[in-house]
Amino acid sequence: MVVKKEIKDAKNIKKENVDVDLFDYDALLKRARTQLEKINLEQERFVIPKLMSLIQGKKTILKNAAQVCKIINRDPQHLLKYFVKETGVPATNDDTKIILNGVVNSFKVNQIYQKYINEFVLCKQCKKPDTRIIIEKGVLLLKCDACGAINPVRKI
């Protein structure tokens, strides 16, 4: 079976890397790289948090907006602006939440939030969320800490 053979081969390669001459620079480098890849694979996946919303009277409260923004490493003001643009509803925020001055159901809230994540958080290349927004020569760029990709993003 091909799959089995590949696993066997992979095992052999690993063994070779372990048994390298400690003064062979290339082999050491190769070994270090293999170990790094192993660490990366074992690293816990960063999970996109859920945005909780609640309708109170004529307002919609994004209850955990500040916490969510901390995890996804975005300015709450940035997420707030996006919600204002998408819903056409004015909004304010405080230390914990974003308050939309209008009724937006939770389905819509999640839809908007997902769009925000896709456009402003997930890397365009590797789709991982370990990214940040930087400004270079007045242009907003989404920089990925996982794969190093840099992609322009629009201003909200």
Rounded to an integer, what distance in angstroms lies between the CA atom of residue 69 and that of residue 78? 9
| Binding of Zn ion by 99 (CB under 5 A) | no
| Binding of Zn ion by 141 (CB under 5 A) | no
The torsion angles phi and psi of 25, rounded to 5 degrees, stand at: -60, -50
Token code pair at residue 155: 């201003």
Crossing angle, helix 106-120 and helix 76-87, to 10 degrees?
A: 120
Nearer to Zn ion, 64 or 131 (CB): 131
Residue 44 CB, nearest distance to Zn ion (Å)? 17
Residue 118 CB, nearest distance to Zn ion (Å)? 14
Among the listed residues 62, 69, 117, 123, the single contact to Zn ion using CB under 5 A = 123
| Binding of Zn ion by 133 (CB under 5 A) | no
Question: Candidates 44-52, 64-72, 80-88, 125-133 — which segment interacts with Zn ion by CB under 5 A?
Answer: 125-133
* 138: number of Cβ within 10 Å: 6
| Binding of Zn ion by 147 (CB under 5 A) | yes
Secondary structure class of 141 (helix, strand, coil): strand
Are the C-beta atoms of residues 79 and 116 closer than 8 Å to each other? yes
Question: Candidates 36-44, 54-62, 77-85, 119-127 — which segment interacts with Zn ion by CB under 5 A?
Answer: 119-127
| Binding of Zn ion by 144 (CB under 5 A) | yes
Question: Candidates 35-43, 62-70, 95-103, 126-134 — which segment interacts with Zn ion by CB under 5 A?
Answer: 126-134
Q: Please report, for residues 3, 14, 15, 53, 74, the alpha-carbon distance to residue 10 in angstroms, rounded to integers and kept in the order given.
A: 11, 6, 9, 48, 40
Residues interacting with Zn ion, by CB under 5 A? 123, 125-126, 144, 146-147, 149
